[in-house]
Amino acid sequence: MNEPKKKVMPKGGRKGGSVFPRVSLEDALKYAKKLVTKTHVARISQDVVYSGVVGAKGGTGAVRASALKQYGLLDGDNKKDFSASSLAKKIAAAPTEEAIALYRDSALRPNIFKRLSETFHGDAVSRAKLRQRAAELKVHPDETEACVGIYLSTMITAELVRTEGELFRHLTAEELSSAAAAGLVESEESGESNLEGAGAPIEQGLIDDEYTLVEQEDGAPAKRAPEGSAPRAVFTVNVQLDASLDTEKLEKQLALLKKYGAL
């Protein structure tokens, strides 16, 4: 009598097919933030990862932890030795303007997501076209819709894809570079605007053409900013000239007063 053959689970899970993260990057980043905090001092066990980081045990916990690994946010291969990856730590510490580049790195770590992105680089495609390509990449037929949904959510979070009506446009390297350059210019212009006049020398402030002359009580002119302009420091100079001074000294004093705008 022939013994029945033992069933062998196909690679990629019960349904088989190519592996992909079952959690979007947006959710994975939330788990990664907890992971960085909990592994700051020491590595943690699988049980702590499931209960304290991804908030689920059993199969659900395993699926979420697997997604973290696929996005490059979780390090560790056994049940007692897990920690946040260097990428997860960089994301947690990065200022907002630098985080998006790290999100892109993470979003393209999963092999299926990277290949989908490479296939449609620079193209605007439909969800159906993405499902077709996912099937070609051996994602199980029952999972192509879920794969495409998570892929699009992840790419949008990483600003690698933009929606155009019912189509999804994959940005080119040139478009990404232009967007980054535009953001840098905007940031620099904002900084220049905020600093305008902050470090101007007193002399420049006193002889600025936008100032108008007003008479002081003793007849000496002073500078006043026009209405609506930003406030600046104004110095009042009272001048008393000694008529007994010789001509040379008097000329030197007058030249000095003209230099600083008091005349």
Please tell me whether residues 147 and 237 are part of one structural domain. no
Give the integer Cα–Cα distance in Å for 147 and 139: 8
Please tell me whether residues 125 and 78 are part of one structural domain. yes
Model confidence pLDDT, tens digit, residues 113-147: 999 999 999 999 999 999 999 999 999 999 999 99
What is residue 44's three-state secondary structure? strand
Please tell me whether residues 137 and 30 are part of one structural domain. yes
Detail the DSSP E strand segments found in the chain: 74-75, 83-84, 124-125, 161-164, 167-170, 212-215, 221-224
Give the integer Cα–Cα distance in Å for 248 and 160: 74
- Output the pLDDT for position 16: 78
Give the integer Cα–Cα distance in Å for 160 and 169: 8
Q: Which domain holds residue 57?
A: 25-173
Please tell me whether residues 136 and 226 are part of one structural domain. no
Please tell me whether residues 97 and 223 are part of one structural domain. no
Please tell me whether residues 68 and 123 are part of one structural domain. yes
Please tell me whether residues 58 and 164 are part of one structural domain. yes
Please tell me whether residues 162 and 76 are part of one structural domain. yes
Give the integer Cα–Cα distance in Å for 181 and 245: 62
In sequence order, the β-bridge partners of residue 215 are 221
Query: Could you tell me if residue 8 is inside a domain?
Result: no
Residue 171, both tokens: 């940005």
Structural domain total, the chain: 2
Chunked in runs of 10, what are the mean pLDDT values of the chain (263 residues)? 50 69 97 96 93 94 96 89 96 94 97 97 96 97 97 97 96 77 50 46 38 43 51 53 62 70 62
Whether pTM > 0.75 for this model: the answer is no
Share of the chain above pLDDT 90, in %: 56
